[in-house]
Chain A
């Protein structure tokens, strides 16, 4: 369904406008959300995502914010994703960057995926057995 009529390619800016409108309406149960960081930026580069930590994990009740930057080659190329809220998680580097080598959604990116997909998949990753019980930094601390 995502790719009916493979010949029609939505260009970057219109794709980001679609994502913006979807994000403004709100997604699903509200456990993930996102919006533009600077509403004046006509290039629509920088986005902020929010993930509410899943229940039955160490992340339960925590709220995580992430920065996503969409370059000129988006959505052919994945955005760069970085946690702002400190987190201990297998696919997150010491500075908060989500490492594409350890996170399938970014490592095997395709243009059908969206910022919503990324946030949902990061949240799923929090629920994986190797992540759900890892000791965490104090709540609400941020990367500098």
Chain B
């Protein structure tokens, strides 16, 4: 295996991400590790995260695209499918991953998850319970966290 050589697929995905970014999403590889991306996702309109700028990190493991990218929020967020460490519960990052998916699809799915929290498949149990017991109050907390942690 040639040391340091980046697979063509990753090069193509990266250049397309930069030249045609998806709305509300940016992803840039870091200078010293082209498999490691700094990601920003804008909180979707009409979601509790609207107005927030969320930082994430994404890493393409050695066996990508046979294995899913690894993604984590760096900005604190109050969401039933995202835990205290920023880990994300999303099927396509786990058993529903397919090599036909891309970095772009993953990030768009995460953005969609912000618009549609799913407390029935929780990662953060307390947050999910809050969401089910009193959705209005949970949404208010999510908005508050967006103001506190995700505003520039």
Instruction: Give A residues with C-beta under 8 Å from B.
Output: 4-11, 13-14, 17, 20, 39-40, 42, 44
* Nearest chain A CB to B6 CB, angstrom units: 8
Q: In whole angstroms, how far apart are the Cα atoms of A17 and B72 in the complex?
A: 10
Q: Is the interface of B mostly helix, strand, loop or mixed?
A: loop
Per the 8 Å Cβ criterion, residues 1-47 of B in contact with A are 1-5, 30, 33, 35-36
Smallest CB gap from A39: residue in B: B84
Does any Cβ of A come within 8 Å of B85's Cβ? yes
The answer to whether B62 touches A14, judged by C-beta atoms less than 8 angstroms apart, is: no
* Nearest chain A CB to B82 CB, angstrom units: 11
* Nearest chain A CB to B146 CB, angstrom units: 16
The answer to whether A42 touches B86, judged by C-beta atoms less than 8 angstroms apart, is: yes
The answer to whether B3 touches A6, judged by C-beta atoms less than 8 angstroms apart, is: yes
Mask for B54-67, Cβ within 8 A of A = 1, else 0?
A: 00010101100000
Does any Cβ of A come within 8 Å of B87's Cβ? yes
Q: In whole angstroms, how far apart are the Cα atoms of A128 and B36 in the complex?
A: 41
Given A42-B86, A44-B85, does the pair A14, B33 have CB atoms closer than 8 Å?
A: no
Q: In whole angstroms, how far apart are the Cα atoms of A57 and B32 in the complex?
A: 46
* Nearest chain A CB to B25 CB, angstrom units: 20
The answer to whether A7 touches B70, judged by C-beta atoms less than 8 angstroms apart, is: no
Contacts of A9 in B (CB 8 A): 33, 35
Given A10-B59, A10-B61, A17-B85, does the pair A42, B5 have CB atoms closer than 8 Å?
A: no
Partner of B1, one of A5, A17, A20: A5
Additional A-B contacts beyond A6-B3, A13-B57, A42-B76 (13; CB < 8 A): A5-B1, A7-B1, A7-B2, A9-B35, A10-B61, A13-B72, A14-B57, A17-B70, A20-B85, A39-B84, A39-B85, A42-B74, A42-B86
